Structure 1
């Protein structure tokens, strides 16, 4: 499975534009998310695959990274290029504070 650490993801964000797919629920997304993130909650994602492009690479953001791995595996099996962000938003927020 394709994964990236939050530290490496932060470095990636500093050097290039990426497509972030935030799979947390709308409430969590509205409380805070990374700029230019697409909100597609995990509960609705399987029914909205037609909204995604197989030409893009998607970095999958969840709360702690566990669900991101599940969705990354699902997307990869369906022909999408997806990479799970290990530690999710919880770990990313800790790095941003440090």
Structure 2
């Protein structure tokens, strides 16, 4: 698995990185990384045409398990994809901002 440390991800995020959240909609609206686009794990294989192949993709979930699997899938499909170590849980625990809401932002 290609995993990126939280601090490395935070720097990429600050520079406008593409963030794909592979959790379910209810999890996403409960709290997500600002700017993260929801593409649930079960939908990702059929939605890769919506993703930008010219930029690195940072894949995030709750703790890193789902994002790790989806990162492996995306890398095999030719994407420069990275799983965020610790996921949204680690992001929130580090004191970084989390967005909540009633509607997911979708790709």
Query: How many residues are treated as equivalent by the alignment?
Result: 96
Greater fraction of residues in helix: 1
Residue 19 of structure 1 is matched in structure 2 by 18
Under a length normalisation based on structure 1, what TM-score does the superposition of the two structures give?
0.89
Aligned runs of 1:43-54 on 2, under 5 Å?
A: 43-54=42-53
Structure 1 vs Structure 2 CA RMSD: 1.4
**Which runs of no fewer than 5 residues in structure 1 stay unpaired?**
none
Offset of residue 11 of structure 1 = 3.3
Q: Distance in 2 between matches of 1:28 and 1:95?
A: 19
Residue 93 of structure 1 is matched in structure 2 by 92
Residue 75 of structure 1 is matched in structure 2 by 74
Q: Distance in 2 between matches of 1:18 and 1:24?
A: 18
Q: Distance in 1 between matches of 2:34 and 2:6?
A: 15
**Which runs of no fewer than 5 residues in structure 2 stay unpaired?**
97-107
Under a length normalisation based on structure 2, what TM-score does the superposition of the two structures give?
0.82
